């Protein structure tokens, strides 16, 4: 599937951008260099006739992305949250991609639901509406359960969506391979790994049973979070292509006028979006990784409501601590510590100069502090950060791709609510709270106890393992030169762990 035939797909992408007029709009909005604009137009114009026409009623960029397919729509959804990168006008146009795409027929949705759940519609729902929202993956209907009268949202996958995504992702794989061949320097960014990661995320989003499980886990994790709601799934009416969950009533977070009319504080909402994301990522290691405005509402009481859990992110404890220390280092302007954390985590090759790296990070961080966020060009900031990573040989960390992407989206959402928000000031209490609890002596003691528990599981096997090793060593010709078995290191480590636990308890 990833052969040269994907060249046609990639050529058609550029041709579609040219035919719809999107290529000029996008390059202009992103302030692309004149040379790049000229090259793009020269390459796209000869193949313009191959481009997809799209819906002429839509603006150029939106028209092109909807014509190209779901993977491109996903990309447009991310850009719609970044007016600082693509400009206010283009960002506003791209918001259409969040939940206003053309729906598929109601009768087709009914047939899919009955086939998936094995029951007639009348037995499940006493009311079932026309689509109320349609996005790249699925569409949503408002309904009422026949048995209880509870109001619910029913999400149904688009017909043929799996094949459409497969086609797009195969083209992305091909493009990533071509980039690696043409530009060896790009290999440090691991484009193939990035696409593999994206592929895995998409496959998870195409199985609504996994989304139901994610929604249930996320609801349990955030049950005590003030000012935040998560509708829970209705398992009896959910399957691979259908998901039913509680109805979320509220004002769309993309509608600033409606938010103001309802009397909600947008400055407070912007801060809450950012702080909740950081809290979920750091505290739980499980976060909503698709937090654009189309997946957020404001309830009548001012609570944020999150839904659409097809893309969720996970971070292990070690990565969370690294991420928190990097953030707190920036917040405290301790660029030396930020550099040290990068080296300790292996993000930067050990042969690079740590002091030079710290100075380069200072150039990234300093422009943010004490400056109105509306005056900060995130595009320039990201451009310089890319130069820094290239200079110091950093490789793309695939485990952080989703976190970084979501941080970009969340910051864009927060800024759409409050253009003057300062991300570092808002993030500070959340990150410092995590650091106080999870980095330091208390965290060390907790780690020792956890390590002891893991080693304790092997306790019944240790005598036999030791005896077997002793017998094996006694039979060696030169036991004095025999290498020390890793088991002895395990035993020694276990002894040190228990010693640490006992001392910690005494202290």
DSSP string, 101-120: SPPPPHHHHHHHHHHHH-S-
Nearest-angstrom CA–CA distance, 140 and 155: 4
Nearest Cα to Cα of residue 108 among 59, 177, 157, 37: 157
**CA-based R_g, the chain, Å:** 26
**Tokens standing for 78?**
């991310």
Phi/psi of residue 311, nearest 5 degrees: -120, 110
Dihedral, 202, 206, 212, 214 alpha carbons, nearest 10:
-10
By the 10 Å C-beta count (0-12 exposed, 13-18 middle, 19+ buried), 62 is classed as: buried
Q: How many CA atoms lie within 13 A of 292 on its CB side?
A: 25
Other beta carbons within 10 Å of 180: 16
DSSP 100: B
Q: How far apart, in whole angstroms, are the C-alpha atoms of residue 240 and residue 473?
A: 55
Q: Pairing mode, if any, of strands 286-288 and 296-298?
A: unpaired
User: Pick the catalytic residue: 290, 308, 353, 478?
Assistant: 290
CB neighbours of 272 closer than 8 A, spacing ≥ 6?
A: 227, 228, 304
End-to-end CA distance of the chain: 62
Which residue has tokens 């993309």? 254
Q: Which of 169, 156, 1 is nearest to 69 (CA)?
A: 169
Cα 141 from Cα 119, distance rounded (Å): 17
Active site residue 255: no
Which sequence positions are flagged as catalytic?
A: 290
């Amino acid at each position: 599937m990833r052969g040269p035939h994907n060249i046609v797909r990639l050529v058609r992408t550029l041709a579609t951008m040219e035919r719809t007029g999107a290529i000029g709009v996008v390059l202009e909005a992103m302030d692309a260099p004149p040379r790049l604009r000229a090259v793009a137009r020269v390459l796209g114009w000869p193949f313009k006739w191959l481009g997809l026409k799209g819906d002429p009623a839509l603006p150029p960029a939106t028209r092109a992305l909807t014509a190209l397919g779901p993977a491109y729509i996903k990309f447009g959804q991310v850009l719609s949250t970044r007016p600082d990168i693509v400009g206010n006008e283009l960002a506003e146009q791209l918001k259409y991609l969040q939940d206003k795409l053309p729906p598929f027929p109601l009768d087709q949705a009914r047939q899919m639901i009955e086939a998936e759940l094995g029951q007639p519609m009348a037995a499940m729902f006493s009311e079932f509406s026309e689509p109320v929202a349609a996005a790249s993956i699925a569409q949503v209907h408002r309904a009422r359960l026949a048995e209880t009268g509870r109001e619910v949202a029913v999400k149904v996958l688009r017909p043929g969506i799996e094949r459409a995504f497969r086609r797009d992702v195969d083209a992305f794989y091909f493009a990533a391979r071509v980039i690696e061949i043409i530009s060896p320097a790009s290999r440090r960014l691991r484009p193939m790994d990035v696409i593999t990661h994206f592929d895995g995320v998409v496959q998870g989003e195409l199985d609504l049973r996994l989304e139901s499980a994610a929604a249930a886990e996320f609801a349990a994790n955030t049950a005590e979070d003030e000012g935040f709601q998560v509708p829970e799934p209705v398992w009896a009416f959910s399957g691979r292509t259908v998901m039913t969950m509680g109805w979320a009533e509220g004002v769309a977070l993309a509608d600033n006028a409606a938010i103001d009319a309802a009397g909600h504080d947008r400055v407070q909402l912007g801060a809450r979006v950012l702080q909740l994301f950081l809290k979920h990522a750091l505290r739980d290691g499980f976060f909503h990784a698709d937090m654009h405005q189309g997946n957020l509402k404001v309830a009548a009481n001012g609570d944020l409501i999150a839904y659409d859990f097809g893309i969720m992110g996970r971070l292990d404890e070690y990565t969370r601590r690294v991420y928190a220390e990097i953030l707190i280092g920036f917040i405290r302007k301790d660029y030396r510590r930020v550099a040290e954390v990068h080296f300790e985590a292996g993000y930067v090759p050990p042969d690079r100069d740590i002091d030079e790296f710290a100075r380069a990070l200072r150039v990234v961080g300093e422009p943010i502090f004490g400056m109105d966020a509306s005056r900060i060009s995130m595009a320039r900031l990201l451009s310089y950060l890319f130069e820094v990573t290239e200079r110091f040989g950093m490789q793309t960390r695939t485990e952080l791709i989703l976190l970084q992407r979501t941080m970009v989206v969340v910051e864009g959402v927060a800024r759409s609510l409050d253009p003057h928000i300062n991300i570092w000031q808002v993030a500070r209490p959340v990150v410092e709270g995590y650091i106080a609890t999870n980095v330091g002596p208390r965290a060390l003691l907790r780690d020792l106890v956890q390590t002891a528990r893991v080693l304790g599981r092997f306790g019944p096997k240790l005598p036999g393992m030791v005896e077997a090793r002793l017998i094996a060593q006694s039979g060696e010709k030169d036991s004095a030169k025999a290498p020390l078995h890793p088991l002895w290191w395990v035993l020694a480590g276990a002894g040190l762990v228990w010693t640490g636990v006992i001392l910690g308890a005494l202290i």
